[in-house]
Amino acid sequence: MVLGNTKLARVLLYACAIGDVVSFVLVCGASSYAAALWALLGLVVLGNVVVLSYAQQQGYFVERQIVKAFKKTCAGVGLTGQSNKIGFFGIGVGRMIDFTGKLAEAEAVVYPKLRRLSGTREQFQAEILPLYGQKLDSFTQHSESFALAFGGIPSVSFELAGNGLIRIRAGLAHIPAYDFEE
């Protein structure tokens, strides 16, 4: 279940991976100090276990699975765009010189982004930051594709969330309240 701070969990996982690489380099460089190596490896394993359990509690792995399915579905139904930014912070926007000296166009694929994801794999809601030119109907007409991509979820619906965002609700079908008067 996606509960909390998956952004912090993501940062901690990246930091843990960098720490693993650094500790591996230190272990290889200081092979004559066996006691220090075992202590370092014990700290690395302990840190990895703590960070992985935190990421699991915050729902990072559920979020990652849903975002991955969302991106693949967007690519499959054509809800992507092309970016022409090259380098860090868009420096050299539009063109770059390749190794042959020719100008090359940047054509990175850009996907709509999922934000504020909450729920479980079976039932969740999120906000979509669409690309420029995409409409609510662009997503609604492909709702069956999204339902199948999310593991056969019975219902996927899209609605306007305000501020240019689209809300996706996936899970059991929402039945509106009905007054049974005779």
Q: What's the pLDDT tens digit per position in 147-158?
A: 999 887 888 999
Residue 64 has pLDDT above 80, yes or no: yes
When pLDDT is cut at 50, 70 and 90, the band that residue 2 belongs to is: low
Residues 139 and 67 grouped into a single domain = yes
Residues 16 and 69 grouped into a single domain = no
CA distance 139 to 167: 10
Res 104: pLDDT = 47
Q: Which of 13, 3, 8 is nearest to 116 (CA)?
A: 3
Residues 71 and 151 grouped into a single domain = yes
Q: Is 45 helix (H, G, I), strand (E, B) or coil?
A: helix
For 83, phi and psi rounded to 5 degrees?
-105, 145
Residue 101 lies in a domain: no
Residue 95 lies in a domain: no
CA distance 65 to 67: 6
Q: What is the pTM of this model?
A: 0.72
Number of independent structural domains in the chain: 2
Residues 26 and 50 grouped into a single domain = yes
Helix (H) or strand (E) holding 166: strand 165-171
The tokens describing 11, both together, are: 């940062």
Q: Is 69 helix (H, G, I), strand (E, B) or coil?
A: helix
Residue 138 has pLDDT above 80, yes or no: yes
> Mean pLDDT, the chain, as a whole number?
79
CB 26, CB 40: distance < 8 Å: yes
Residues 41 and 121 grouped into a single domain = no
Residue 161 lies in a domain: yes
Give the dihedral sign, CA 33/38/40/44: positive
Q: Is 12 helix (H, G, I), strand (E, B) or coil?
A: helix
CA distance 121 to 180: 33
Residue 31 has pLDDT above 70, yes or no: no
Residues 67 and 47 grouped into a single domain = no
Q: Which domain holds residue 16?
A: 6-58
CA distance 47 to 56: 14
CA distance 119 to 161: 17
CB 154, CB 164: distance < 8 Å: no
Summarised one tens digit per residue, pLDDT across range 72-128 is 999 999 988 877 655 555 444 444 444 554 544 556 788 898 888 888 888 888 899
